[in-house]
Amino acid sequence: MQQFTINKYGEVEVEQNELRYFIPIAYTEASELDELEEAYRRKGKELMDSPYYLFANNLELVRNRFCFTFQLEEMKAFHYIRQLPFEEQLYYLRSLVEMAKNIEQTPILWGKNSLLVDLTDRKIKTFLFEFDKHPIHVSQDAVDGLKETIILALTTLHRVLGKPRRIDFIDQREIVIRFAENILHGKSVSEIGRVVEDTILEIERQLEQEKKEQPKSNVLTAFKEKWNAKKETAATVEQPVWRFSKKKSNLSAPYEKKKSIWDNKYVYLSASALAFVILIGNSTGAFDFSKPEEAKAKQEQTEVIPSSKLVGVYQKALTGNEQEALDQLERYGYDNLSKKDQKVMLSLYKETGQSEKAIKLKPEYAEEVVNDLISNQKYDDLRTLQSKIDNPVVNYEVAFLDKKWEDVVRLKDKVKMTDRRENQLLSAYLHLGRMDEAKKLVAESPELSQKVQDFEMKKKQVENLKMQVQQVQKNEKDVKKRDEQVKKLNEQIKQLEAAINNI
């Protein structure tokens, strides 16, 4: 169970999916439970159309404190937002702007402990806000509170006491740093809101442009699109599809989802039509990006099954029967397929949740599988994959997720060392106390030097605070004062240890 102080005089207890907020009766403006409950109900009606305020499932009196009980299914602590890509974080940050706009009518307590991430509707919500009989005891300017909370979402900081350094940011791309700069320079809530909206628009335009310019990485997707292109009329205009928004339609509700040819599992495609698409794919490079002379050389080295014999297989895959297609490709044998058909087979394994089979056939394919799982925060799927296959790339990433630092160090020479993995390896060295190796790594990557300094500084602070605890326990004779001082010092130690754990 987690416990922490909130709203100056209140306390929160979190156990599994239940959160309980306690506030002493003396620090409310109500003397009876019924009085507080009636005021709470009135606020609920007032905020009925606002999705940013979370209301308790139960309100009761526990000794001399009012207790609000919340059920938190499908919700995460505020720091969960740090795991999301910046492009998705922006949609959640809109919630903070909306709460700041409504601060005059409904003051809230700014800070990570009073905010929750609701995964069902992609919003940040607060369970702690002011209403009649229940004041907020810690006041903060809306602009300052909004800025600080946004910066907390983007960095590893636990408190924002000044302008963050680049090393503090989880995502250190230029667009994120520029966004943070613009947020910090905002002089009003509306100005900060415009920064958020302008950045979302910029990213959506960039994604649309990339979609137009970049070749499709998935061979099967390219195959589908070429066939759909032949079916579309000149008058058809496709709506842009953003990465994080649903495709919109002008049709009425019963017909809103327009099914493409690929949505129908029973569609019939003639062999000649499929062969024609395959020929188009080969001629345009949709299936093979090799130069003609390279492709010819490969063909001469190994006798492979020609793609023309796989028309029936592609027909099954394209009409939704991916497993049947895979069964047939397995009968042919991976080594007997051309390079482009091997790529299709690996892609089908990944799309059908059988990535371990793809990695067994081509161990280096683990990089693509792992990167895809990590970028989509599918950490449980990554752990499941490890249980099915022994691969150094998979093992390394799971070791880091589970903070198995010895395993991270042991596997470092068996994986491709990217910037992200260098950062992970540095964390392992620091937590293992292998400072010489950490500093050697930093010497090769100077941008990581600040991380080492932060780690050493925080460890030293923890040691000093623990010494203070011992001194207080030894020298303070007043029991009440001693307990209060020890509690405050332990809270500081806990915060620092959490910061160290996130390094």
435-444 and 449-475 helices, crossing angle to 10°: 150
What pLDDT does residue 425 have? 92
**β partners of residue 53:** 126
| Residue type at 105 in one-letter notation | Q
C-alpha pair distances (Å), 348 with each of 150, 307, 318, 325, 357: 40, 16, 11, 9, 10
What pLDDT does residue 355 have? 94
What pLDDT does residue 389 have? 94
Q: What angle do CA 445, 154, 487 make, to 5 degrees?
A: 100
What pLDDT does residue 255 have? 34
CA–CA distance, 190 with 456 (Å, rounded to integer): 40
What pLDDT does residue 376 have? 77
Is the whole-model pTM more than 0.85? no
Residue 76's φ and ψ, nearest 5 degrees, are: -130, 160
In this prediction, the residues of the chain whose per-residue pLDDT falls under 50 are 216-217, 226, 230-292, 295, 298-301
DSSP states of 192-249: HHHHHHHHHHHHHHHHHHHHHHSPPS-HHHHHHHHHHHHHS-TT--PPP--SSSPPP-
What pLDDT does residue 444 have? 63
CB atoms within 10 A of CB 150: 24
Residue tagged 């001629």 (tokens): 283
C-alpha pair distances (Å), 160 with each of 112, 144, 148: 11, 10, 6
**Burial grade of 291 (CB within 10 A; 0-12, 13-18, 19 or more):** exposed
In angstroms and rounded to an integer, the radius of gyration of the C-alpha atoms of the chain is 28
Classify strands 10-15 and 2-6 as parallel, antiparallel or unpaired. Answer: antiparallel
Q: Are 223 and 281 in contact (CB under 8 A)?
A: yes
CA–CA distance, 96 with 67 (Å, rounded to integer): 26
- CA atoms lying within 13 Å on the CB side of residue 444: 12
What pLDDT does residue 431 have? 92
